[in-house]
A and B are shown apart, each in its own frame.
Chain A
């Protein structure tokens, strides 16, 4: 799932300065689950903004709407009416949601309410960690199911750097060394010999380095050759 974090309140308030009719668009999927931009967070933000404006005697109307997802246009179409009178839309969706809303509601200013962080998992209530960087060519088969791209700070492919100490990474004693995890896991699986296979330098064009990416599932389309 996509994991995000709400922007500091000061930043949000500042970006909304001067607007009277504000619609906060929460998103009912990933950012709800990671407690950054679901309906609860949006309602909370709405109340705090109202309190703040009341204190300054500046009028404001805040409305909260929650499409199931901001990344599928039909959910946005269903909500189009709600955005009618808005001077500004604060999207609590991930970066994709904010941009897709901006595309769909061209005449409206759409601002981001959260910082999109990574693809990760919920470790316990209130804790998420990064697991995948979307590099476009998965090599988990070679590394015992632990990603060296996302979980080694240097994205090393053939073992740890010299900074690995007591299972921790040199960038931060709270961060596990990705390569220690890979080694431990392969040992558990009795597949340490996998590590003798040298991984060739990666062709990073499949990742972000190749420019903006898209995926096409041709059999689902009727207007192109397969």
Chain B
């Protein structure tokens, strides 16, 4: 099977060798500007370049995500004894490559006995390398401030910044000319173009979203497209590991249909009712894995089975109720007005709930836990339908940054909020539905939540 290697990188030679050893046929396209088109799905991608059209099963992008390190130009210029202030002001977490670079530079400065502040709205935990870097930075004496609101005023003549960061309890005031913000960074235009062409999920600044990189270091949002970047790799063995991980993913990680068929199970997957589909493109826009494609011949949307990761986001957002999950959920039938239904994401809540089954055995007689592929599958309509049969509904999703499907957890939380508003508007108790973000290792927090809901 052909595998496309896109981009220029020192990784390419080794990658090509390993791929050949494993029986794949690598096809290199080093100059990204040559790529003119990209279509298809996993196992069946088509890469068009100025000179040729190649059919490939998988794609590995090796081009570096940024052409310039955003902070490295700044850290030398700081003077005197004033504090150095890093500001990563993003509505959610900062992009991984900025975070890594900011942390590395903060550590260098702190080790030179500078007073270093690191201000951000969110702590980034799910990025490759970042956990260790946070630890190192703390040991080196970097002060981390997580704020809710931030005010920055800059005197243009003196270059002095006056910063006020408020975390809801206290306001921290800082004055310094050594303020480092990542505005000056230049994400590579080449990469932006490729990310758009490949329809990969991007951050606001159009850098590729690598939220899942902590767990899955080389996966992108799309099945069958991988990233291997040498700049984030510090040791040769790490590079080897990543290549090995990617190759094993390419071999084993099949579209849900293929995996289930191989295991002799009925395929889990997405079905679209062509009679209902209004061809509105909502699912196409919302799918985090770019696994919906227009079928112009029939004027309906179609699901790309090999690309789909069955997160169910399309199911919950489709306004025509045209998208359904193929696999039926088993229901064991504790439906009752005093019962609690827990919809648990199979990546987090399911395991946490499992751990409580023994401890809360008495309560679990009145609890029905239903695993879902991702919180993204749950909509206002499904919650309100459940409330007709159960006293309360609890939705368990992964923490921010940890959602395997990037935003399924956020969508679930929004839909729960909306449900609460509807309940309140019709005179019902809005506490009948709650959403909780947790990890599989947080059964105690879940226990408290269950006890609260079940009185």
Spell out A's residues near B (CB within 8 Å): 8-10, 13, 28-29, 32-33, 35, 38-41, 43-44, 47-52, 54-55, 66, 122, 124-125
Q: Find out whether the CB atom of A9 lies under 8 angstroms from the CB atom of B426.
A: yes
Q: A29-B278, A33-B280, A51-B426 are in contact. List 18 more A-B contacts (CB 8 A).
A: A28-B278, A32-B319, A38-B278, A38-B321, A39-B319, A40-B319, A40-B320, A44-B379, A44-B380, A44-B422, A48-B423, A51-B384, A51-B387, A51-B388, A51-B423, A54-B388, A66-B276, A125-B317
Known contacts A9-B422, A32-B278, A32-B320: A40-B385 contact under CB 8 Å? no
Known contacts A9-B422, A40-B320, A125-B285: A50-B428 contact under CB 8 Å? no
Q: How far is the CB of A74 from chain B (nearest CB, A)?
A: 15
Pick the 10 closest A-B CB pairs, nearest first. A47-B384, A38-B319, A52-B426, A33-B280, A39-B321, A9-B425, A44-B381, A32-B278, A35-B319, A40-B321
Q: How far is the CB of B272 from chain A (nearest CB, A)?
A: 14
Asked whether B427 is an interface residue with its Cβ less than 8 Å from the other chain, the reply is yes
Asked whether B453 is an interface residue with its Cβ less than 8 Å from the other chain, the reply is no
Known contacts A32-B319, A43-B321: A10-B280 contact under CB 8 Å? no
Q: How far is the CB of A224 from chain B (nearest CB, A)?
A: 33
Question: How many residue pairs at the A-B interface have CB separations less than 8 Å?
Answer: 76
Asked whether B336 is an interface residue with its Cβ less than 8 Å from the other chain, the reply is no
Known contacts A47-B388, A125-B282: A41-B319 contact under CB 8 Å? yes
Q: What A residues does B385 contact at CB under 8 A?
A: 43, 47
Q: How far is the CB of B419 from chain A (nearest CB, A)?
A: 9
- A54 to B425: give the CA distance in the assembly, Å: 15
- A40 to B381: give the CA distance in the assembly, Å: 7
Closest Cβ neighbor of B316 among chain A residues: A40
Q: How far is the CB of A171 from chain B (nearest CB, A)?
A: 28
> Of A10, A47, A66, A122, which one neighbours B381 at CB under 8 angstroms?
A47
Q: Find out whether the CB atom of A8 lies under 8 angstroms from the CB atom of B425.
A: yes
Closest Cβ neighbor of B421 among chain A residues: A9
Spell out B's residues near A (CB within 8 Å): 276, 278, 280-282, 285-286, 317-321, 379-381, 384-385, 387-388, 422-423, 425-428
Q: What A residues does B425 contact at CB under 8 A?
A: 8-10
Q: What A residues does B427 contact at CB under 8 A?
A: 52, 55
Q: What B residues does A29 contact at CB under 8 A?
A: 278
- A50 to B387: give the CA distance in the assembly, Å: 10
Closest Cβ neighbor of A11 among chain B residues: B425
Q: What B residues does A54 contact at CB under 8 A?
A: 388
- A123 to B278: give the CA distance in the assembly, Å: 17
> Of B276, B286, B387, which one neighbours A47 at CB under 8 angstroms?
B387
Q: What B residues does A50 contact at CB under 8 A?
A: 388
- A28 to B176: give the CA distance in the assembly, Å: 59
- A79 to B448: give the CA distance in the assembly, Å: 49
- A50 to B428: give the CA distance in the assembly, Å: 11
Q: What B residues does A43 contact at CB under 8 A?
A: 321, 381, 385
A40, A49, A124 — most chain B CB neighbours (10 Å): A40
- A51 to B278: give the CA distance in the assembly, Å: 29
- Give 29 pairs: A residue, B residue, CB < 8 Å, sorted on A: A9-B425, A28-B276, A28-B278, A32-B280, A32-B319, A33-B282, A35-B319, A38-B278, A38-B319, A38-B321, A39-B320, A39-B321, A40-B320, A40-B381, A43-B321, A44-B381, A44-B384, A47-B388, A48-B384, A50-B388, A52-B427, A52-B428, A54-B388, A55-B428, A122-B280, A122-B281, A124-B285, A125-B282, A125-B285
Q: What B residues does A33 contact at CB under 8 A?
A: 278, 280, 282, 319
Q: Find out whether the CB atom of A38 lies under 8 angstroms from the CB atom of B381.
A: no
Q: Find out whether the CB atom of A125 lies under 8 angstroms from the CB atom of B276.
A: no
- A202 to B151: give the CA distance in the assembly, Å: 50
Q: What A residues does B384 contact at CB under 8 A?
A: 44, 47-48, 51
Q: How far is the CB of A166 from chain B (nearest CB, A)?
A: 21
> Of B281, B286, B379, B428, which one neighbours A40 at CB under 8 angstroms?
B379
Q: How far is the CB of A117 from chain B (nearest CB, A)?
A: 16
Q: What B residues does A35 contact at CB under 8 A?
A: 282, 319
Q: What B residues does A39 contact at CB under 8 A?
A: 276, 319-321
Q: How far is the CB of A6 from chain B (nearest CB, A)?
A: 10
Q: How far is the CB of B407 from chain A (nearest CB, A)?
A: 11
Q: What B residues does A55 contact at CB under 8 A?
A: 427-428
Q: What A residues does B319 contact at CB under 8 A?
A: 32-33, 35, 38-41
- A8 to B320: give the CA distance in the assembly, Å: 20
Q: What A residues does B422 contact at CB under 8 A?
A: 9, 44, 48
Q: What B residues does A124 contact at CB under 8 A?
A: 285
Q: What A residues does B320 contact at CB under 8 A?
A: 28, 32, 38-40, 66
- A66 to B317: give the CA distance in the assembly, Å: 18
B282, B388, B426 — most chain A CB neighbours (10 Å): B426
- A122 to B282: give the CA distance in the assembly, Å: 10
Q: What B residues does A13 contact at CB under 8 A?
A: 426
Closest Cβ neighbor of B281 among chain A residues: A122
- A48 to B317: give the CA distance in the assembly, Å: 18
- A157 to B380: give the CA distance in the assembly, Å: 44
Q: How far is the CB of B259 from chain A (nearest CB, A)?
A: 29
- A9 to B320: give the CA distance in the assembly, Å: 20
Q: How far is the CB of B286 from chain A (nearest CB, A)?
A: 6
Q: What A residues does B280 contact at CB under 8 A?
A: 32-33, 122
B286, B320, B385 — most chain A CB neighbours (10 Å): B320
- A192 to B319: give the CA distance in the assembly, Å: 42
Q: What B residues does A38 contact at CB under 8 A?
A: 278, 319-321
Q: How far is the CB of A10 from chain B (nearest CB, A)?
A: 6
Q: How far is the CB of B99 from chain A (nearest CB, A)?
A: 27
- A86 to B280: give the CA distance in the assembly, Å: 30
- A55 to B388: give the CA distance in the assembly, Å: 10
Q: What B residues does A40 contact at CB under 8 A?
A: 318-321, 379, 381
